[in-house]
Amino acid sequence: MIVRKLRLQQGWSQEQLSEFSGLSIRTIQRIERGQNASVESLKSLAAVFEIELTDLTQEKEMNDSTAQANSTSNSAHASITQDEASAIEYVKDIKGFYSHLIKYACVMTLLVIINLVTSPNYIWVIWPALGWGVGVISHGLSVFEVFSFFSPQWERKQIEKRLGRKL
């Protein structure tokens, strides 16, 4: 994700970064999604952004432990703050919910068609629709924090409790 942030700071599109770095657009998309990149790809990106290779390879450490950026000014602007990390995580959760909802709608549409073609006298499709529908609804309630039984605050309290610390 640091590659995406650096690219956006420069005001470049993925296509422009592809041209500058000599990498394919698909490779850049994969790297921005957090997939592993080869050393050659990282070297090329580090050269384009004029930063050290280690700044790109330490991205996971920055995300995991909110470490401060190293000495170069570009990497200082590229560090991901805790607020940005939580916003990114929230957007990923929303994306996951909508993906779940679309899959539900597509599969249920297919099952309705199969039900109507094979046995129109008995509407059995209601049972999988209700079962899976409960899952979709609970996923939505969880993502949009309508009922936050297991909120981040709850998680933090449980971790502190297990570690024997007081809040």
Per-residue pLDDT of the chain (167 residues; tens, 9 = 90+): 688 888 888 888 889 999 999 999 899 888 888 888 888 888 899 899 888 888 777 654 554 444 344 334 444 445 677 777 778 888 999 999 999 999 999 999 999 999 999 999 999 999 999 999 999 999 998 888 777 666 667 777 888 888 887 65
Cα–chain-centroid distance for residue 59? 15
Domain count, the chain: 2
pLDDT at 150: 66
Residue 40: domain span: 2-78
Domain-terminating residue out of 47, 78, 109: 78
> Do residues 95 and 66 both lie within one domain?
no
Q: 54-93 burial, b if ≥16 CB within 10 A, otherwise e?
A: ebbebbeebbeeeeebeeeebbeebbbeeeeeeeeeeeee
> Do residues 91 and 147 both lie within one domain?
yes
* 67's tokens: 């470490």
> Do residues 131 and 157 both lie within one domain?
yes
Tell which residue, 69, 66, 3, 65, has the closest CA to residue 37.
3
> Do residues 67 and 88 both lie within one domain?
no
* 11's tokens: 């005001």
Domain-terminating residue out of 78, 98, 127: 78
> Do residues 47 and 34 both lie within one domain?
yes
Residue by residue, DSSP assigns 103-142 as: HHHHHHHHHHHHHHHH-TTS-TTHHHHHHHHHHHHHHHHH
65-93: per-residue pLDDT in tens? 443 443 344 444 456 777 777 788 889 99
> Do residues 18 and 71 both lie within one domain?
yes
Global pTM reads 0.50
**Residue 162 to residue 153: CA distance in whole angstroms:** 14
* 159's tokens: 């971790």
